[in-house]
């Protein structure tokens, strides 16, 4: 067993210690104070000697009584909960509040526990085990204001600060019974089987020039005719009756084959925007914290923002995922798209060429991890028909300058996970390779697309 596993076992065992650090500090301080006051030399002939000793005993008895009441109230709530758990079972539900999460731009988790009874003037706190090996911090619920004083149901929400935009699986919950002074904390384990996904936030973007190139139904005409391709392929072998001006000389230079572009047709029903988002990575990013968390989070936020921008402008947007995600039945299409974006991840299974259907695609989103050669092959042929959006992943970090390093070394410790990822990224062997790939991709988009879109 390595050091990290031992540390995790010790940390998990500490969750079940029935008293808190506040009780330890209070006990030590009370003991030292009592001994110091009891050892004070007071004139034996003074009338205050006996009174002072009596006051010390009264104070000690008062503290013992208060602590006993606090402990007994916690013990009573704990025994009631254990009895109900064994007799009738306990209802423990974890779910996601989508509306409140969208409003606060946080992950809002809704929890319901019943039957449970709070200690007298005490607290019920929780801790969640998720993704098999991670524990949340101990937290209190923001309870419903209409809750009755004597109630066996606790229902409320918690704004959970989770680092990654993905789907989380909650397997277990720890319920803590704590007194008013938070001296005692008795934990009970509850099984849970719940999952929820963190939602990408929105980012303000400029409108992107997009033209629909396909329709799914022909019962509604559009006001402006759209250019769409005649067949699945954009070009075919050259024949005697073909217009020589349609020959694609770039393909001839590579393959020595004469091919011509397929003629475009004016479709009065082309009204759907097909959005292709590539999570393909040509780099092996396993173990790279920066690429697996902040880069992926930033890519998802921009992708969701692009989708929202297109929907708000009145387009019929069809999101085409490039990977199979966990099934989640959602009636609302936008929630389905948000779920797909949230649960997607970097992969090396399906490259850009095998993923993008060029006859349908209106928008293709690529990242700093995309293969520049594949992007060049697609954009030089379809750059006028398809809008390519390039997301620079390194934009998720601010520049790490020398002042930041000096502050970290001599002034302050890491404030959050982002600082840790930034330092790891600065020392990563992939850093220069990905930055070079970014520069090349940006140049390709700017060269072959009239209105380059780099975010």
> Lowest mean pLDDT: which of 14-18, 45-49, 321-325?
45-49
Q: For residue 366, what are its two tokens? A: 């690529």
Phi/psi at 401 (5° precision): -95, 180
Confidence band for 342, pLDDT divided at 50, 70 and 90: very high
State pLDDT tens for residues 189-208: 998 888 888 888 888 888 88
Count Cβ atoms below 10 Å from residue 95 Cβ, excluding itself.
15
> Lowest mean pLDDT: which of 79-93, 169-183, 316-330?
316-330
Distance CA 184, CA 76 (A): 13
| Mean predicted confidence (pLDDT) in 215-238 | 51
Q: For residue 307, what are its two tokens? A: 């989708």
Higher pLDDT, 322 or 423: 322
State pLDDT tens for residues 354-380: 999 988 899 999 999 999 999 999 999
What's the predicted TM-score (pTM) here?
Answer: 0.76
Distance CA 156, CA 161 (A): 16
State pLDDT tens for residues 263-310: 554 444 456 899 999 999 999 998 888 999 999 999 999 999 999 999
Instruction: Report yes or no: 267 and 225 within 8 Å, Cβ to Cβ.
Output: yes
| DSSP states of 293-336 | IIIHHHHHHHHHHHHHHHHHTT-EEEEE-SS-------SSHHHH
Residue 224 pLDDT greater than 60, yes or no? no
Count Cβ atoms below 10 Å from residue 212 Cβ, excluding itself.
23
32-39: list long-range contacts, CB under 8 Å, 24+ apart: 34/60
Q: Which residue has the tokens 């029903």?
A: 269
Residue 398 pLDDT greater than 80, yes or no? no
């Amino acid at each position: 067993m390595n050091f990290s596993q031992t540390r995790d076992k010790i940390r998990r065992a500490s969750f079940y210690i029935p008293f808190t650090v506040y009780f330890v500090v209070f006990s030590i301080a009370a003991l030292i104070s009592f001994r110091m006051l009891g050892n004070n030399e007071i004139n034996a002939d003074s009338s205050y000697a006996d009174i002072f000793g009596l006051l010390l005993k009264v104070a000690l008895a008062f503290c013992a009584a208060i602590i006993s009441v606090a402990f007994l109230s916690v013990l009573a709530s704990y025994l009631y909960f254990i009895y109900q758990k064994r007799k009738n079972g306990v209802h423990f539900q974890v779910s996601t509040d989508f509306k409140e999460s969208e409003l606060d731009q946080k992950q809002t988790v809704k929890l319901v526990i019943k039957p449970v009874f709070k200690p007298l003037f005490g607290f019920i706190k929780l801790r969640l085990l998720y993704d098999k090996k991670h524990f949340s911090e101990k937290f209190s619920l923001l309870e419903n204001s209409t809750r009755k004083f004597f109630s066996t149901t606790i229902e409320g929400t918690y704004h959970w600060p989770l680092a990654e935009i993905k789907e989380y699986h909650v397997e277990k919950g720890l319920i803590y019974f704590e007194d008013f002074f938070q001296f005692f904390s008795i934990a009970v384990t509850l099984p849970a089987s719940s999952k929820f996904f963190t939602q990408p936030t929105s980012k303000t973007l400029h409108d992107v020039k997009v033209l629909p190139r396909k329709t799914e139904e022909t019962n509604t005409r559009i006001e402006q005719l759209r250019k769409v391709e005649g067949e699945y392929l954009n070009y075919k072998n050259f024949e005697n009756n073909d217009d020589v001006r349609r020959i694609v000389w770039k393909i001839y230079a590579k393959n020595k084959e004469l091919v011509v572009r397929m003629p475009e047709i004016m479709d009065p029903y082309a009204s759907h925007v097909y959005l292709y988002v590539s999570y393909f990575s040509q780099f092996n990013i396993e173990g790279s914290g920066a690429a697996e968390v902040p880069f992926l989070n930033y890519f998802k936020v921009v992708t969701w923002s692009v989708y929202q921008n297109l929907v708000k402008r009145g387009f019929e947007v069809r999101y085409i995922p490039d990977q199979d995600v966990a099934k989640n039945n959602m009636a609302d299409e936008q929630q389905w798209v948000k779920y797909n974006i949230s649960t997607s991840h970097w992969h090396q299974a399906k490259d850009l060429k095998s993923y993008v259907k060029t006859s349908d695609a209106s928008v293709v989103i690529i990242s700093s991890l995309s293969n520049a050669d594949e992007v060049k092959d697609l954009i030089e042929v379809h750059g006028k028909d398809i809008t390519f959006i390039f997301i620079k992943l390194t934009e998720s970090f601010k520049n790490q300058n020398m002042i930041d390093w000096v502050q970290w070394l001599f002034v302050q410790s890491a404030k959050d996970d982002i600082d840790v990822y930034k330092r790891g990224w600065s020392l990563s062997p992939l850093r220069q390779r990905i930055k070079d790939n970014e520069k090349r991709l940006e140049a390709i988009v700017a060269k072959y697309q009239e209105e380059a879109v780099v975010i």
